[in-house]
Chains A and B, each alone.
Chain A
Amino acid sequence: MSLYATAVKKPITTALCFVAVVIIGLFSLTRLSIDLLPDIETNTIMVLTAYPGASAADIETNVTKIMENTLNTVSDLKDITSKSKENLSIVTLEFEYGTDIDVATNDVRDKIDMIRSVLPDNSDTPVLFKFGTDDIPILILSVTAEESMPGLYKILDDKVANPLKRISGVGAVSISGAPEREIQVYCDPQKLEAYNLTVEAISAIIAQENLNTPGGSFDIGSNTYNLRVEGEFTDPKQLNDIVVGVYDGRTIYLRDVARITDTVKEREQEAYNDGRRGGMIIIQKQSGANSVNISNEVMKRLPAIQASLPSDVKLGIIVNTSTNIENTIDSLVETVLITFIIVMLVVLVFLGRWRATIIIIITIPISLIASFCYLLISGNTLNIISLSSLSIAIGMVVDDAIVVLENVTNHIERGSAPKQAAVHGTNEVAISVIASTLTMLAVFLPLTLITGMAGILFRQLGWIVSIIMIISTIAALSLTPMLCSQLLRLNPKHGRLHKIFFTPIEKALDALDRGYARLLTWAVHHRAVVVISAILIFGGSVMLTKVIPTEFFPTQDNARIGINIELPIGTRTEISRDVALRVVKEFQEKYPEIKTLNFTVGQADTDNTFGSIQTNGTHYISMNIDLLSVGDRERGLLEICESMRQDLKKYVEIKTFKVLAGGGTGGMASQASVDVEIYGYDFATTDRVAKEIQQAMEQMKSCSGANISREDYIPEYQVDFDREKLALHGLNVATASSYLRNRINGTTSSYYREDGDEYDITVRYAPEFRQSVEDLENVLVYNNEGKGIRIRELGTVVERLTPPTIERKNRERVVTVTGYVAPGAALGTLAEEINAKLKDIEIPSEVSVTLSGLLEDQQDIFFDLYILAAMIILLVFIVLAAQFESLTYPFIIMFSLPFAFTGVFLGLAVTGTPLSVMALIGLIMLAGIVVKNGIVLIDYTNLNRERGYSITHSVIHAGRSRLRPVLMTTLTTVFGMIPMAIGTGEGSEMWRPMGMTVAWGLSVSTLITLLIVPVAYTIFAKNGVLISRRKRAKNQ
């Protein structure tokens, strides 16, 4: 018993089976989490090795090189890059996509264990660190405060960070910008000297005074008591009264030699929100947690948290990634709904009967909802890719149902009872329905095989569309015949309204049929003209490729801008802050689009996780700008960025700056850039080449700015001790330098405890005594004899420039010049221009220059996709050849393919869209979609010939009678793509090229296919007849 016969016989079972599928699908939908993109696993591991006291060059030779040489042998390694800074070596291992990162981590750990003994003795144990998309903060809150400012850190830590950390899924909550309390003991060096005291001595005394000691337990009578000495300070003021020594019989208190202030840490990162001082709370999620759920949960708790804060502390939102995700997903859901309605209208117009329309349309929600089960089972999320896959599939799932319904209707019109008609009608087309689904699978299943970055994105697309196609075919072969048998009637009565609406449509369609038949008659009699003009059209469109630029991924307008401003190295925080505030003021006046503007300035503390990963320093300003969402402003993201770049250029005090569209979160959202990597050992040579390339890039129109990765040489003061003099005084470098450190940096002598929190008690020179080189030279170093010797007598203080951070890639020193693509220009163009320019720049033989960055990824992916396209075309050919059991017919059908490219090139050229990965995927999908029309035409022409018509007559008759189904399936697909192609919602930049490619390619190819395929068929068939006649003549 066949599937459709059973389905028609058991309508209740069939209906309920599909109801069950829908229920399971909807259940899955409620369990699915929402995210922007499919999970992109991290593929990098960082190895951090600290070697205190070593300079960048020392680190490079003694740590980094050894690490690189060993780690280079780990399997599946793509690139190995490193940074050697003062005290720290960072080796970054980038693995091929799809590598199991846990296995890789173990490999790396094994290798590190092997070389542990080779590393310098003083170096710390290397630390492994995995950084992936999960580490990008999902939420950044702003905090402004007035009178509570000094205690802000504690307030935020207790009242905000701790409650937020308890939300499940929240990873780290870091507070930045809020000052942290510290008890400062500021010593006066002269008084210290006068009383024969040192910073070390004071520090030790404080530590000894600030102590709780358990004294054991003892028995009194029948009871046991514990003994304790509680010496810890209960108030910072108690520090004043500590006795630090006796001089001339007089007791010296700490207040006599130092001033004690209960204040905040000296150097810290300051945060400003909309120009007002405040703090930032950065929330990161745990790996694998759902960003949208977490940020919704945080949002839900915020009002309660706000209520518990002092009235002057206000919380706000700087970055909420979930808004972007939700808006994107909402606009996609909208697209899917619009597509659904459009497809329904197309079907209604062509069929003119609402019952038939319902039968066809019902397959859409069923197939789509069923795909949610797949998403849940495979652990995926609702994201851009899965939802746009749904949108792509809508136009195509109805095709099978249309074919079945059309044939069943034919049977009914010939007099069959609906039940019989449903069984026999479906039986007749089942094979060709399955074949056309197979061609689609031949396109979409290989998509699941793509590797690399694109693979992560398109695996889901491939699976979803394949699954939807399979389900829609099953529905077309069971549900559709069942519904036909239940709903369709012979010659249904039409109402008056129906006549008013459909009579003109019917007339127009009839006229179209007649017109097309006439055109086709002319075409098959003027085959040469048609073929030549087709070749000309295709040739012409190939010329268009010259004007179509290429890019990797379209830049997404996520309404976020990140700006990094660097002032000359060593600029004081106060000055940087002043510049930042001026920039903020200008921006706020000039760009009404800015919703919130927040910046941080200054050195980040080491316990601020997020802050310390980013580049920071007293001269470094990093800004986060949140714009109004796309729909609410006229200027685009890139336009605003460009204008900001022009503004920033006017500030003379700024050394370099970066304006990153998309907030610099990396991935596909950020602005495209070309990296020029300059390999070479000698700093001076590579610096010169880098400068030249940067200057050349900045002059290019397609480049909106260029940065050099190598940082400036850092000016610093060094104390050169004279070892002989040191030895003479019984000192060594370690002792002398620790004296210096304790006076300038200070020493944390003890902790002051209050309400369960600990605060550092730091002892050092008061700020006014450490402001000049002289102050340094006057520092007293005491030797074992208790004699004080000034630094000036032990050595000299000199200013020096130290080597910058040494960056290496694949075990060679490298400098990267990054050029950002200007708005309107494409990645490919810039790369070409740079390549051309590189020829003019004189590059020494020991230096090599290569282009990389996004461009490298782009070339990799494009290459993958071209291979894939070739494979898909071959697979489609195989499916077709199997269906027709012939090599000629598939060949004829393949004539539609070049014109799909014609349509795509035309579309890209007309709309000025660059050829991106998304467009290329659209192109690949076309390979499966466009041949469908050819299949329908050829199949019916063959049928006519088998029925005994002449070749010409068969071709014309087939064309005429298949025009409507062809137009209908094409229009459902094309209109299905249009909402995607013209979408303006948030995130629509991403899939717009894909929708546009399919829409243009399919329309143009269909129009030309309708002529070229019949003409090609005539040519081949007539030749075939001639050949067989000749053979027969020979044999006779």
Chain B
Amino acid sequence: MKAIFIAFDQAHYEDVYSILTHDNCRGFTYWQDVQGRGSKSGEPHYGSHAWPSMNSAILTMVEDDRVPLVLKALHTLDESKPALGLRAFVWSIEKAI
């Protein structure tokens, strides 16, 4: 089991959701409005007057074989719209009930 944390511009939500569904990753946790800023480039997402856009975040636990598929699809999505911004981070799950 791996955990994937995906932080992305709100506009990506439907695409991200469809990637997860497509790759048969059923379970996830979704935060609709989160703020954040990229480490290198891209506009901050603060929901403020200066930076009005907002991020959303999804935390999903998937089987190990799903991870490359999901990451690849997410990467393609990010490349297609670089101005919006999307990042995914993966780590291992040690135990689950």
Contact = CB atoms under 8 A, between A and B. Distances in A.
Nearest to B48: A946
Contacts of B51: 947
Contacts of A415: 11, 80-84
Contacts of A943: 49-50
Contacts of A87: none
Contacts of A255: none
A424 B50 contact: no
Contacts of A420: 10-14
A62 interface: no
B59 to A, nearest CB: 21
B53 interface: yes
A810 interface: no
Contacts of A411: 11
Interface in B37-79: 48-54
A417 B13 CA distance: 10
Contacts of B50: 942-944, 946-947
A335 B73 CA distance: 56
A706 B19 CA distance: 89
Contact of B84 (A414, A419, A947): A414
Interface string A911-942: 00000000000000000000000000000001
A632 B10 CA distance: 64
A413 B51 CA distance: 17
Interface residues of B, number: 19
A700 to B, nearest CB: 61
Contacts of B11: 411, 415-417, 420-421, 424
Interface in B9-34: 9-15
Contact of A424 (B49, B53, B82): B53
Contacts of A427: 52
Contacts of A944: 50
A424 B80 contact: no
Contacts of A424: 10-11, 53-54
Contacts of B82: 415
B2 to A, nearest CB: 28
A942 B50 CA distance: 8
Given A417-B14, A420-B13, A420-B14, A428 B81 contact: no
A414 B11 CA distance: 10
B10 A414 contact: no
A413 B81 CA distance: 9
Tell me the dominant secondary structure on chain B's binding face: loop
Contact of A946 (B9, B49, B53, B54): B49
Contacts of B15: 417
A474 B51 CA distance: 25
The A interface is mostly helix, strand or loop, or mixed, namely: helix
Contacts of B13: 420
Contacts of A414: 81, 83-84
A428 B15 CA distance: 22
A371 B54 CA distance: 37
A943 B15 CA distance: 30
Nearest to A946: B50
Interface in A409-445: 411, 413-417, 419-421, 424, 427-428
Interface in A98-120: none
Given A415-B11, A417-B11, A420-B13, A942 B81 contact: no
Contacts of B9: 416
B52 A428 contact: yes
A789 to B, nearest CB: 107
Contacts of B84: 414-416
A407 to B, nearest CB: 9
A944 B51 CA distance: 10
A420 B53 CA distance: 11
Interface string A294-316: 00000000000000000000000
Interface in A940-966: 942-944, 946-947
A427 B54 CA distance: 11
Given A420-B10, A420-B13, A421-B11, A942 B80 contact: no
A942 B83 contact: no
A575 to B, nearest CB: 85
A849 B50 CA distance: 66
A541 to B, nearest CB: 36
A430 to B, nearest CB: 10
A428 B11 CA distance: 13
B74 to A, nearest CB: 14
Contacts of A942: 49-50
A419 B11 CA distance: 9
Nearest to B10: A424
A946 B50 CA distance: 6
A424 B82 CA distance: 17
A947 to B, nearest CB: 5
A420 B77 CA distance: 15
B81 A416 contact: yes
Contacts of B54: 424
Contacts of B81: 414-416
Nearest to A421: B11
A215 B12 CA distance: 107
A421 to B, nearest CB: 7
A491 to B, nearest CB: 12
A782 to B, nearest CB: 106
B66 to A, nearest CB: 24
A548 to B, nearest CB: 43
A861 B29 CA distance: 66
Nearest to B15: A417
A899 B52 CA distance: 33
A134 B12 CA distance: 66
B78 to A, nearest CB: 10
A259 to B, nearest CB: 102
A413 B83 CA distance: 9
A740 B82 CA distance: 112
A621 to B, nearest CB: 74
A416 B54 CA distance: 13
Nearest to B81: A415
A416 B14 CA distance: 11
A777 to B, nearest CB: 102
A972 to B, nearest CB: 25
Nearest to A432: B49
Contacts of B52: 427-428
A946 B83 CA distance: 20
A417 B8 CA distance: 14
A632 to B, nearest CB: 58
Contacts of A421: 11
Interface string A344-363: 00000000000000000000
B87 to A, nearest CB: 15
A416 B56 CA distance: 14
A420 B14 CA distance: 9
B53 to A, nearest CB: 7
Contacts of A946: 48-50
A942 B52 CA distance: 13
A427 B49 CA distance: 11
Interface in A368-418: 411, 413-417
Nearest to A947: B50
Contacts of A419: 14
A145 B59 CA distance: 99
Nearest to B78: A415
A1013 B83 CA distance: 32
Interface in A625-642: none
A73 B14 CA distance: 76
11 contacts: A411-B11, A413-B83, A414-B81, A415-B81, A416-B11, A417-B11, A420-B11, A420-B12, A424-B10, A428-B52, A946-B48
Interface of B: 9-15, 48-54, 80-84
Given A424-B53, A427-B52, A943-B50, 14 more contacts: A411-B11, A414-B81, A415-B11, A415-B82, A416-B9, A416-B81, A420-B11, A420-B12, A421-B11, A424-B11, A942-B49, A946-B48, A946-B49, A947-B50
**Interchain residue pairs A-B with the least CB separation, the first 4:** A415-B81, A946-B50, A416-B11, A414-B83
